[in-house]
Amino acid sequence: MSRPEPFPADFVFGAASSAYQIEGSPLADGAGPSIWHEFVRRPGVIDDGSSGDVACDHYHRYGDDIGIMRQLGLPAYRFSVSWSRIFPDGTGRINGPGLDFYRRLIDGLRQAGIEPYLTLYHWDLPAALDRRGGWFARDSAGWFADYAHTLFRALGDSVSHWMTLNEPWVVNDGGYLFGVHAPGRQSLQEPPRVAHNLLRAHALAVQAFRADGNGRIGLVVNLEPKYRESDSDADRIATDRAHAYMNRQYLDPVLLGHYPDELADIFAPHWPEFSSEDMKLLQEPFDFLGVNYYTRSVNRADPSHVIGAVPVRQSGAEYTEMGWEVYPQGLTETLLWIKRRYGDIPLYITENGAALADPAPVAGHIQDDHRIAYYRSHLRAVLDAMAQGANVKGYFAWSLLDNFEWSCGYTKRFGLVHVDYATQKRTPKASAEFYRKVIASRGAVLFS
Ligand code: FCB
C-alpha cells in the first residue's frame, strides 16, 4: 500500500480530560455533591482508597495547565463541565460561581488560541438527582436538557463544539448493571430504561441546541471491535451479543431508529417496548460522532455471564496496565465499520491513549517510549482509515494529565504530562514532546 498522506490542514488535534478526574475541590464555591463524590466514600470501591477531592487541583491550576497546553501547541482541548457545580441540586437554582469557573477556563483557552470542546456529561450526575432515581427516572432526560440549555445560553458565544454524553455504555454498564462505577447499582431490570433515558437526554439536548445554540453538537461513544475465539456457533452468537451490547446499543437507535434485537434476549424479561414517539425522538440528527477507542476484545461464550460472553487474553499480545490489548488496526476497522453501517457522519477520535508503567524520571525527564509507540501506531491507524474513506475530522489524546482513573484511583497513569500528586508538579513526558511534533508536522513525524 502506498504511504498515506499526513493529516489535512483542517484536521483538529487536541487532548482530553474530564471534570471529576482532574478538577478537585468538588464542593467549592457552592457546588453540590455528584454521585462520584459520594461513591468514592464507600469502602473498597476504589483500588487505592482515593477520591477526586484533590485530583490534579485543576480547579485552581487551570491557568498553569493552559500554559502547558500552549507549550504542546495543542489547537484544541476537550473537557467536561460538572453539572452539580452549575446546578447544586441538579435542577432549579443556578450556582453562578460554578458557571464562572468554566467561563474563566474557556476565556483562558481562547486567549491561548486553544479551541474548547465541551462535554456536557462525563459521568458525574448531581447526587440530588440520583436520589430522584438517577438515569432510571424518565424525568432524567428533561433534567439533562434543561442543564444543557442553560450552558448553551451561558457559554454559547465562546464554545462552538459540544458533546452531550460521554460513553453512555460505561455510564450504564458500570453504574447500573455491575455497580463498579457510581452510583454503584447492580440491576438487570434498570439498564434497558437507563440506556433509553440517556439517549432521550441526548436527543432533547440536541433539540434545545437547535433552538438556542451555536456551532456543532455530537455524541461520544466508546467502541471496541469484537472478535471471537473460535468459529463455534456458541462463540459466534456470544460475540454478536457482546458487539450488539457494547457497540450497537447506543448507535443503532440514534442512527438507524431501532435497538439491536440481541438486547431483548440479553435483558429478557426486562427489555420494554419503547413507544414510536420515543424512537422517533432518538433519531434527532446531530452533527458528529465522537469515538473513544482503546482496545479490542476476543470473546468466548460463557452462559454464566450476563451478556453470555467473556473476553479471553491473547498469548503473545501486548497489554496496557488496564489489561487492554494494544490493537491499533481495531481503530481503522472501527472507523470504517461506522461508515459502512451508519453512513458518512463526521467523526472525531475523542479519546485514545494508554495507561503504561512509566520509567522513573531521570533528571526530570520521563522517557515513556511505550506510550510514544502506542500513539504512533494509533495515529497511523487513523490515517489508514482516512485513506480508505473514513470521514475523520480530529483526534484527542487521552489524557493531557495523569489523573483519577475512576475505580483504579491514581494507580493508572494515562497522561502526556506526569503529575506528582504530593506536590502537584507537572512534568511533560517524552510522549508530550512527540505529540507536539506530530501536531507541528501534521503527522509527518509518524513516518520518520
Ligand atoms: C474512558 C473514559 C475516560 C478515561 C478513559 C481511560 O472510558 O471516558 O474518562 O477513564 O476511559
Structure confidence by residue, pLDDT tens digits, 201-231: 999 999 999 999 889 999 999 999 999 999 9
Q: If you average pLDDT over residues 321-345, what whole number do you get?
A: 98
Residue 406 Cβ inside 6 Å of ligand 1? The answer reads: yes
The rounded distance, in Å, linking the Cα atoms of 124 and 31 is: 12
Residue 231 CA, ligand 1 centroid: distance in Å: 32
Confidence of residue 448 (pLDDT cuts 50, 70, 90): confident
Q: Which three cell numbers stand for residue 336?
A: 470504517
Q: If you average pLDDT over residues 441-448, what whole number do you get?
A: 95
Asked if pLDDT for residue 27 goes beyond 50, the answer is: yes
More confident residue, 3 or 196: 196
- With both helix axes pointing from N to C terminus, report the angle between 369-387 and 329-342 in degrees, rounded to the nearest 10: 30
Asked if pLDDT for residue 4 goes beyond 70, the answer is: no
Asked if pLDDT for residue 2 goes beyond 80, the answer is: no
pLDDT digits (tens, 9 = 90+) for 389-400: 999 999 999 999
Residue 403 Cβ inside 6 Å of ligand 1? The answer reads: no
Asked if pLDDT for residue 59 goes beyond 60, the answer is: yes
Residue 442's contacts (CB-CB under 8 Å, 6 or more residues apart) are 6, 7, 8, 9, 11
Residue 166 Cβ inside 6 Å of ligand 1? The answer reads: yes
Q: Residue 90: left (phi > 0), alpha (psi -120 to 50), or beta?
A: left
Contact assessment for residue 321 and residue 366, using Cβ atoms and an 8 Å cutoff: no
Q: If you average pLDDT over residues 381-393, what whole number do you get?
A: 98
Domains recognised in the chain with CATH numbers: 12-447 (3.20.20.80)
Residue 414 Cβ inside 6 Å of ligand 1? The answer reads: yes
Residue of the CA atom closest to atom 4 of ligand 1: 405
Nearest to 116 by CA among 129, 104, 131, 127: 104
Q: Which three cell numbers stand for residue 29?
A: 464555591
Q: What are the contacts of 269-272 at 24+ separation with CB within 8 A?
A: 270/188, 270/189, 270/191, 270/192, 271/192, 272/192, 272/193, 272/196
The chain-wide mean pLDDT, for the chain, equals 97
| Catalytic residue list | 167, 351
Residue 352 Cβ inside 6 Å of ligand 1? The answer reads: no
Nearest to 155 by CA among 212, 85, 84: 212
Confidence of residue 283 (pLDDT cuts 50, 70, 90): very high
Q: If you average pLDDT over residues 189-199, what whole number do you get?
A: 98
Ligand 1, residue 222: give the atom nearest the CA: 7
Asked if pLDDT for residue 60 goes beyond 90, the answer is: yes
Least confident of 1-10, 254-263, 303-312: 1-10
Ligand 1, residue 412: give the atom nearest the CA: 6
Residue 358 CA, ligand 1 centroid: distance in Å: 19
Residue 424's contacts (CB-CB under 8 Å, 6 or more residues apart) are 56, 57, 61
Ligand 1, residue 170: give the atom nearest the CA: 7
Asked if pLDDT for residue 1 goes beyond 50, the answer is: no
Residue 80 Cβ inside 6 Å of ligand 1? The answer reads: no
Asked if pLDDT for residue 5 goes beyond 60, the answer is: no
Residue of the CA atom closest to atom 10 of ligand 1: 405
Residue 106's contacts (CB-CB under 8 Å, 6 or more residues apart) are 116, 118, 155, 158, 159
Mutate to test the pocket of ligand 1, among 21, 400, 406, 412 (most ligand atoms within 8 A of CB): 406
The rounded distance, in Å, linking the Cα atoms of 425 and 172 is: 35
